[in-house]
Amino acid sequence: MSALLDISNAPYRSVWLFKIDLPEDEIDWFSHEIINDDAQIWPLGTALGVQPFPDHDFVEVLDLEALKAYGFSNYLTEGNGLDINDDAQMLDNLAGHILLVFSQGLENGQSKFAPSAPLSFVARYNQPQTTPAHEALESTSAAGELPQGKPAKSDARIGGMVATFVLIFLAVFVALFVWIGG
């Protein structure tokens, strides 16, 4: 059993990475939940050592060979918006299967992971706390304010426009009858 890993002080968007030390043919069995006689059996959840188990929607098991061309570090930074510090090379050198547990899948009462074999803790990464600064736009099209649209027409204005149209129509209609009759 590894050392306890603190969950409670994690920012909203964090991820814990665990290496899964199992043969390829056992990964599918390990990562899927089994419901048996109203009992929940999830080997991966049990190996994490946390109760209740994390929400399945925020747990990923990845085959790092499938991400080799893109890079696992790119997956974490570009795909998930996490700050990996200077660990890009270390992350891209990992092989086999990796488990990602995102903090959104953990309940408030959960305070510590107690991972056991076949899981071994790799690292925890967080979403950056500050947003990146952007340079000011210097093109002429970026200067000034955008033109404001016209406000929506009120019901009274629409009613007045309809009444004006009807009066003009009636005036033309009466003038036409006077001209024909005269």
Asked whether the beta carbons of 153 and 159 are under 8 A apart, the reply is no
Q: What is the pTM of this model?
A: 0.66
Q: Where are the domains of the chain?
A: 5-126
Please list the pLDDT of the chain residue by residue as tens digits (182 residues): 456 777 766 666 888 899 999 998 888 888 887 777 666 788 888 888 888 888 888 899 999 999 889 999 999 998 888 889 899 999 999 999 999 998 888 876 677 888 888 999 999 888 886 666 777 777 777 677 777 788 888 899 999 999 999 999 999 999 999 999 87
Q: Please report, for residues 68, 72, 105, the alpha-carbon distance to residue 94 in angstroms, rounded to integers and kept in the order given.
A: 10, 8, 24
Tell me the C-alpha distance between 175 and 165, whole Å: 15
